[in-house]
Amino acid sequence: MRFAIVVSEWNTEVTEALYNGAKETLMKFGVKEDDVVRRNVPGSFELTLGAQLMAERKEFDGIICIGVVIQGETKHFDFICDAVSQGITNLNIKYNLPVIFGVLTPNTMQQALDRAGGVHGNKGDEAAITAIKMAVLKKELEA
């Protein structure tokens, strides 16, 4: 199987840890390193277009979107989280392809770090497992 991982460059300490968790998990389950393609986008809002551009290539069994949006004092958090979750949902349907929401939405940076290899594990790992399971389900149902 081949997977694309689209990674937000915002909050790189967190997104790099999530990316590493996702990539390591894909490889642990037999995906070859050359079959994991990474592309960066500036922020979480851009994950949807980045994932769409990858989906249009029709080369991947799944796409994992990695990002983090930390709650602030303005409504920016709400708008970004809503746009990204809706955008990723729409891509799943439009391309009939697993596009996985690997975006953390914590209240604090510490909560993000706790979920990027800290006390709550690595949500990048969970996103990769979800991508594999959904790609297998799609292949089984198409067979």
Q: Tokens for 123?
A: 């949500």
Phi-psi domain of 58 (left: phi exceeds 0; alpha: psi -120 through 50; beta: other) = left
- CB of 128 closer than 8 Å to CB of 21: yes
Residue 119 Cα distances to 23, 51, 57, 61, angstroms: 20, 29, 37, 30
User: What pLDDT is recorded for position 47?
Assistant: 98
Map out the domains of the chain with their CATH numbers: 7-138 (3.40.50.960)
How many Cα atoms within 13 Å fall on the side-chain side of residue 109?
A: 5
pTM of the model: 0.95
User: What pLDDT is recorded for position 77?
Assistant: 79
Q: Tokens for 28?
A: 């642990």
Beta bridge partners of 104: 68
Residues in the chain: 143
Segment-wise mean pLDDT, segments of 10 residues, the chain, 143 residues: 97 97 97 98 97 97 97 82 96 97 95 92 96 98 93
Q: What angle do CA 28, 126, 55 make, to 5 degrees?
A: 85
Determine the Cα–Cα distance for residues 122 and 114; give it in Å rounded to an integer: 8
- 3-state DSSP helix/strand/coil percent for the chain, to nearest 5? 55, 20, 25
Query: Catalytic residues, which ones?
Result: 76
